[in-house]
């Protein structure tokens, strides 16, 4: 695992070694173990290394082939590298290290760039320099697990694992771009390829970008499209066995490391599955790490995590999160670079920090909900499309007893009847909307009138992005549930969950791996029939059935709970009064131009008892971003 950087400068302008060194130095947290660079004739590449596979000096990057004509810097893990290595050895290639990085070097020689990326199974972002052909190739994994940012300015193309590195690329510090604020207040994150900085974009997932170093011409190729596995003719038992084998193979592959590994264990289905499968086939139980809340039980799942750990014989480490964790929000926003309205960032930051004290690699359950049907919106989306949205809305109208109808159907959790009624009303209001508008309504953090009252820019960029993704999903002939999965993969998972996992773990020099995003497992999940992944009262029915073989009912039958913290209560306490003052008189007003009156009204409503914690947390995040970057 590494941080990578580089500059391709056109028109005969040289790249100085100290420019690459300066970019590399900004990413020391991503790779505290080693650093390196290669510079020549208008191009330079560099890296910081976190040693995971072959921790010896033989894993130093940039890494070249025998004559040095090919050079690579690489961030990530390729889990099928041993199979690819055996194939390359049989073809006559000689290896000097035990790293997966060297597989990419010889794989490029053997197959070329396009065929190479199509063979890689894992998470990665890389820059490969072909000195003979004067070509630079930038590649990113299928699902965007590892980030890669691009900046085109001043006759050059710069790239980096994090935006902060561009401050040293010779073009000045990237300027903040507040046009994203409307989309952020709508979705709670920034949809790709946009960032919060002018002139900086994200290389899309499953993309290979080829740069001609002589002319600066770029050619982008999408090498993979998410598509469902064909499961027609298979019985439910056959599909269950396929899921079992894919989980077993993926977890085993993700455990390969030459450093200590562990598992993030919340006690939910996904992390419990990873823990159980990590202990299969005679492997010693993994060390597990859980986050708890010392002052509240809302969202605290450590009792469930402890039960799973006891079941498999794991040593479970509990890390506590206190209310004063909100004070660390500016540091977290600085690590994220783009603002993110997800309060789970707070516990994840502390979980990564505490875990790194014990291990270098941790397995995490990101992607499980998107792959195997963990969101209730999948059921409602399927129901609306299958029944006809207008007919369902009419049947569920208040005149037809609709409020009671939806309240009976929406699963009651621990949030109280008032919140349940609001969720039912939100579902009812969305049923007549087109598919993409319905999706946005479910996610909507601030409604259009609320954004207007705040004085935020329009949110057209996020509307266009979601429309485009649904169009792509329909063009592939995906069913209603698959379309929702496809959009989640290409938006929320990519730009929220995976980005958060990468930035907050690498800030602590911890590598997080996501076995549930194994390509074959993802395609299997997408290919499941609706009844295999959605239900009225229980999500992930197929996974629950599988886990009944190895885990107790207290885990397999419990309702889904989000990774929540009691931010609503924290933001009513006297200790957070300075934060509330900052919201109405700080950077949101002075630097982003939002309405002080509208902000003051939101705070007052929250103090009066309305649960606006999620909205206020989003605004606190945005304020911290504006203070640091604007």
What is the per-residue pLDDT across 165-183, written as a single tens digit (0 to 9) for each? 999 999 999 999 999 999 9
The pLDDT, as a whole number, for residue 403 is 47
The pLDDT, as a whole number, for residue 415 is 43
Rounded Cα distance, 503 and 496, in Å = 11
Rounded Cα distance, 530 and 149, in Å = 36
- Report residue 404's pLDDT band, with 50, 70 and 90 as the boundaries: low
Q: Which helix (H) or strand (E) holds 421?
A: helix 417-430
Using the predicted structure, report yes or no on whether residue 32 has a pLDDT greater than 80. Answer: yes
Using the predicted structure, report yes or no on whether residue 432 has a pLDDT greater than 60. Answer: yes
Cis peptide before 193 (omega within 30 of 0): yes
Percent of the chain residues past pLDDT 90, beyond the cut: 79
201, 157, 126, 161: which is closest to 31 by C-alpha? Answer: 161
Average pLDDT over residues 70-80: 97
Rounded Cα distance, 568 and 617, in Å = 9
The pLDDT, as a whole number, for residue 426 is 65
Number of Cβ within a 10 Å radius of residue 597: 12
What backbone torsions phi and psi does residue 93 show, to the nearest 5 degrees? -80, 145
Average pLDDT over residues 251-265: 95
- Report residue 486's pLDDT band, with 50, 70 and 90 as the boundaries: very high
Measure Cα distances from 135 to 210, 215, 224, 239, 327 in Å.
7, 10, 22, 44, 46
Chain segment 88-146, per-residue pLDDT in tens: 999 999 999 999 999 999 999 999 999 999 999 999 999 999 999 999 999 999 999 99
Rounded Cα distance, 194 and 497, in Å = 16
What backbone torsions phi and psi does residue 247 show, to the nearest 5 degrees? -60, -45
The pLDDT, as a whole number, for residue 294 is 64
Given a contact cutoff of 8 angstroms between Cβ atoms, the answer to whether 421 and 412 are in contact is no
Among 194-198, 488-492, 556-560, the minimum mean pLDDT is found in 556-560
Using the predicted structure, report yes or no on whether residue 528 has a pLDDT greater than 90. Answer: yes
Whole-number average pLDDT of the chain: 91
- Contacts with 333 (C-beta within 8 Å, 6 or more apart), sequence order: 339, 621, 624, 625, 628
- Report residue 48's pLDDT band, with 50, 70 and 90 as the boundaries: very high
Give burial (CB, 10 Å; 0-12/13-18/19+) of 135: middle
- CA 451 to chain CA centroid, nearest Å: 26
Given a contact cutoff of 8 angstroms between Cβ atoms, the answer to whether 44 and 127 are in contact is no
C-alpha triplet 143, 148, 150: angle, nearest 5°: 130
pTM above 0.75, yes or no: yes
Ranges assigned E (strand) in 50-154 = 63-64, 70-78, 122-130, 135-140, 149-153
456, 273, 288, 497: which is closest to 372 by C-alpha? Answer: 273
- Report residue 457's pLDDT band, with 50, 70 and 90 as the boundaries: very high
Both tokens of 98, joined, read 């035990």
Q: Which helix (H) or strand (E) holds 116?
A: helix 113-119
Among 132-136, 322-326, 451-455, the minimum mean pLDDT is found in 322-326
Average pLDDT over residues 323-342: 93
DSSP 66: T
Both tokens of 1, joined, read 């695992």
Average pLDDT over residues 183-189: 96
C-alpha torsion angle, residues 193, 195, 198, 203 (rounded to 10) = -40
Rounded Cα distance, 279 and 271, in Å = 13
Both tokens of 526, joined, read 């997408």
Using the predicted structure, report yes or no on whether residue 479 has a pLDDT greater than 90. Answer: yes
Rounded Cα distance, 254 and 277, in Å = 11
Using the predicted structure, report yes or no on whether residue 405 has a pLDDT greater than 70. Answer: no
The pLDDT, as a whole number, for residue 414 is 38
Using the predicted structure, report yes or no on whether residue 68 has a pLDDT greater than 90. Answer: yes
Given a contact cutoff of 8 angstroms between Cβ atoms, the answer to whether 182 and 459 are in contact is yes
Chain segment 345-395, per-residue pLDDT in tens: 999 999 999 999 999 999 999 999 999 999 988 988 888 787 665 555 555
- Report residue 397's pLDDT band, with 50, 70 and 90 as the boundaries: low
Rounded Cα distance, 494 and 510, in Å = 19
The pLDDT, as a whole number, for residue 466 is 96
- Report residue 324's pLDDT band, with 50, 70 and 90 as the boundaries: confident
Average pLDDT over residues 434-445: 91
Antiparallel, parallel or unpaired: β 287-293 and 261-264: parallel
The pLDDT, as a whole number, for residue 498 is 98
Chain segment 206-233, per-residue pLDDT in tens: 999 999 999 999 999 999 999 999 998 8
Given a contact cutoff of 8 angstroms between Cβ atoms, the answer to whether 615 and 446 are in contact is yes
């Amino acid at each position: 695992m590494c941080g990578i950087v580089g500059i391709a400068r056109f028109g005969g302008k040289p790249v100085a070694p100290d420019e690459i060194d300066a970019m590399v130095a900004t990413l020391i947290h991503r790779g505290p173990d080693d650093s390196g660079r290669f510079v020549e004739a208008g191009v330079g590449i560099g890296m910081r290394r976190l040693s995971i596979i072959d921790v010896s000096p033989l894993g130093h990057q940039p890494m070249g082939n025998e004559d040095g004509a090919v050079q690579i810097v690489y961030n990530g893990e390729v889990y099928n590298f041993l199979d690819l290595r055996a194939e390359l050895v049989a073809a006559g290639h000689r290896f000097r290290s035990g790293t997966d990085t060297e597989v990419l070097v010889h794989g490029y020689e053997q197959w070329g760039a396009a065929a190479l990326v199509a063979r890689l199974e894992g998470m990665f972002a890389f820059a490969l320099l072909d000195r003979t052909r004067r070509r630079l190739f930038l590649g990113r994994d299928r699902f965007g697990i590892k980030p890669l940012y691009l900046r085109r300015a001043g006759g050059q193309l710069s790239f980096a694992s994090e935006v902060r590195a561009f401050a040293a690329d010779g073009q000045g510090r990237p300027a903040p771009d507040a046009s994203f604020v409307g989309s952020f207040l709508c979705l709670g994150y920034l949809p790709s390829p946009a960032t919060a900085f002018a002139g900086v974009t994200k290389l899309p997932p499953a993309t290979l970008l080829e740069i001609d170093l002589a002319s600066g011409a770029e050619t982008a190729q999408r090498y993979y499209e998410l598509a469902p596995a064909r499961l027609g003719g298979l019985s439910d038992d056959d599909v269950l066995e396929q899921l079992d084998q894919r989980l077993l193979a993926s977890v085993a592959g993700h455990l390969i490391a030459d450093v200590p590994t562990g598992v993030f264990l919340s006690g939910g289905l996904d992390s419990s599955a990873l823990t159980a499968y990590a202990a299969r086939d005679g492997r010693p139980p993994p060390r597990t790490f859980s986050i708890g809340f010392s002052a509240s039980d809302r969202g605290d799942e450590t009792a469930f995590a402890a039960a799973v750990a006891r079941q498999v014989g794991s040593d479970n480490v509990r890390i506590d999160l206190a209310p004063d964790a909100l004070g660390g929000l500016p540091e977290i926003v600085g690590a994220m670079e783009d603002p993110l309205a997800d309060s789970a960032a707070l516990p994840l930051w502390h979980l990564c920090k505490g875990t790194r004290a014990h291990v270098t690699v941790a397995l995490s359950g990101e992607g499980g909900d998107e792959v195997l049907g963990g969101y209730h919106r999948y059921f409602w989306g399927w129901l609306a499309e299958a029944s006809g949205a207008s007919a369902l809305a009419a049947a569920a109208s208040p005149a037809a007893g609709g409020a009671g109808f939806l309240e009976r159907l929406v699963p009651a959790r621990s949030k109280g009847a008032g919140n349940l009624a609001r969720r039912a009303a939100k579902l009812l209001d969305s049923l007549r909307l087109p598919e993409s508008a319905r999706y946005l309504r479910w996610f909507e953090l601030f409604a259009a009138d609320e954004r207007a009252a705040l004085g935020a820019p329009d949110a057209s960029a996020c509307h266009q992005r979601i429309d485009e993704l649904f169009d792509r999903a329909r063009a592939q002939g995906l069913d209603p549930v698959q379309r929702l999965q496809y959009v989640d993969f290409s938006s929320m998972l990519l730009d929220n969950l995976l980005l958060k996992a990468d930035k907050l773990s690498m800030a602590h020099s911890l590598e997080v791996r996501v076995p549930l995003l194994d390509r074959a497992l993802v395609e299997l999940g997408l290919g499941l029939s609706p009844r295999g992944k959605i239900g009225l009262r229980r999500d992930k029915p197929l996974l629950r059935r599988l886990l009944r073989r190895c885990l107790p009912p207290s885990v397999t039958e419990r309702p889904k709970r989000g990774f929540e913290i009691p931010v609503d209560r924290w933001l009513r306490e006297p200790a957070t009064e300075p934060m509330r003052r900052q919201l109405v008189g700080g950077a949101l007003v002075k630097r982003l131009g939002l309405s002080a009156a509208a902000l003051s009204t939101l705070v007052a409503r929250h103090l009066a008892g309305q649960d606006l914690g999620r909205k206020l947390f989003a605004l606190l995040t945005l304020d911290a971003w504006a203070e640091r970057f604007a």
